[in-house]
Amino acid sequence: MPDNKLEETMYFKKSDEDNLNPRDVLLTVYEALVEKGYNPVNQLVGYFISGDPAYITSHKQARSLIRRIERDDLLEELLIHYLKNQEPLR
Q: Are 29 and 61 in contact (CB under 8 A)?
A: no
What local confidence, expressed as pLDDT, does residue 3 receive? 59
What local confidence, expressed as pLDDT, does residue 65 receive? 97
What local confidence, expressed as pLDDT, does residue 27 receive? 97
Low-confidence stretches of the chain (pLDDT < 50) are none
Report percent pLDDT > 70 for the chain.
84
For residues 17 and 24, what is the distance between their CA atoms, to the nearest angstrom?
12
What local confidence, expressed as pLDDT, does residue 24 receive? 96
What local confidence, expressed as pLDDT, does residue 86 receive? 87
What local confidence, expressed as pLDDT, does residue 16 receive? 52
